[in-house]
Amino acid sequence: MVGFMVVTSPCIGTKDTACAKVCPVNCFFDAGEMLVIDPHDCIGCGLCIPECPVSAIFMDSDVPEQEQAFIARNRDFFTGKSAEELDRLRVT
């Protein structure tokens, strides 16, 4: 199974959206202080990883121990949001 990417803490305070500009499936969303990735839509292509100036993006299986909570933080962002709301928060 192909993994998915997770945005972690270094995005907070940077959030320059460089990652979102290269994502072929537009699965980055504005979660306030940071961007998050939709784990269901991410195809695991890896294009976003080298774009991030603060190395905040990891494959789910490679998330550092101290950043593990961000797996849920990315995933939980999508719970209970309507398609319309998500469309407003999508970053491209």
Would you tell me which residues interact with ligand SF4 (CB under 6 A)? 5, 7, 11, 14-19, 22-25, 27, 35, 37, 42-48, 51-52, 54, 56-57
Tokens of 77: 């962002």
One DSSP character per residue, 49-65 reads: GGG-TT--EEEGGG--G
CB nearer to ligand SF4: give 53 or 85: 53
Shortest reach from residue 77's CB to ligand SF4, in Å: 14
- DSSP reduced 3-state for 48: coil
**Residue 57 near residue 18 (C-beta atoms within 8 A):** no
Instruction: Decide whether 45 or 85 has the Cβ nearer to ligand SF4.
Output: 45
Q: How many beta carbons lie within 10 A of that of residue 75, not counting itself?
A: 17
Least distance to ligand SF4, CB of residue 30, Å: 9
* Smallest distance from ligand SF4 to CB 11, Å: 3
* Amino acid occupying residue 49: I
